[in-house]
Amino acid sequence: MNAIISASELASALAAGDPPVLLDVRWQLSVPKAAGEPSFDGRAAYGAGHIPGAVFVDLDRELASPPGAGGRHPLPDVAGFGAAMRRAGVSSGRPVVVYDGGQGWAAARAWWLLRWTGHPDVRVLDGGLTAWEGPLETSVPTPAQGDFEPAPGATGLLDADGAAALARSGVLLDARAGERYRGEVEPIDPVGGHIPGAVSAPTTDNVGADGRFRPAEELRARFRELGVSDGTEVGVYCGSGVSAAHEVLALAVAGLPAALYVGSWSEWSADPSRPVAVGPDPQ
């Protein structure tokens, strides 16, 4: 099953007799702002207009636990995540489509969590809301309670030790911008640089100028250049396990399974005993 769906395919699915559950996960990376500058409010953006029938999902509250030793977006409490998905109408036997404002990172985080907890049919709207040409609505739907019961472990998950080991035995991809990987800038976390052995692979290079994923064959070629081929054990991390989920999604589009290091650099760099590499080379 393809991990992404086009806007035209989604429009057809919504017009069918048994449409998918639709989740709106609009979110933006939180970075320090100038005094008085408002933060992005995904719920307000949802209220101003969303794809008909979509239910808002809050990434910070429903797709992650509070920030702490496990990073800025640790795994959510599994029971709480399951309850949130059921409130949104998610059932195991019904397809789910997730979208965000267009970047795709937040939608990919929801996609990865649902896949990791065992949902068999989840796709991301390619290009997000910006690709949607249909109507929008402002009314908030009240979906029927779903029956989804999360069963973690259906896809790969890494902790800090596992990520370090994979950097030596397989391919560990760093999905952040190249300047953060090289340690030239670090706007959020305690220190810049990367996990020793990790390969720089900005997730922004997986999409075209329109924000949609590059064709599968182009993605396979890109990952092949980064050392990934069929049978390679692959892991991905970023700052806090959000943009890395987007890279895991890109790998899935290319037909290449990968594990996610959810704690990512925000967890790794918080422990001064962990080694840090800087510069353009993995080591």
Catalytic choice (5, 106, 238, 259)? 238
What residues contact 247, with CB distance under 8 A and at least 6 apart? 173, 175, 201, 203, 206, 236, 238, 258
The residue behind tokens 């649902």 is: 114
| Composition of the chain by helix, strand, coil, percent to 5 | 30, 15, 55
Question: Is 48 noted as a catalytic residue in this protein?
Answer: no
Positive or negative, the CA dihedral 215, 217, 222, 228 is positive
- Residue 67 Cα distances to 58, 221, 235, 267, angstroms: 15, 36, 22, 10
Radius of gyration of the chain (CA): 18
Q: Is 194 helix (H, G, I), strand (E, B) or coil?
A: strand
Residue closest to 204 by CA, chosen among 85, 62, 108: 108
Which residues are marked as active site? 238
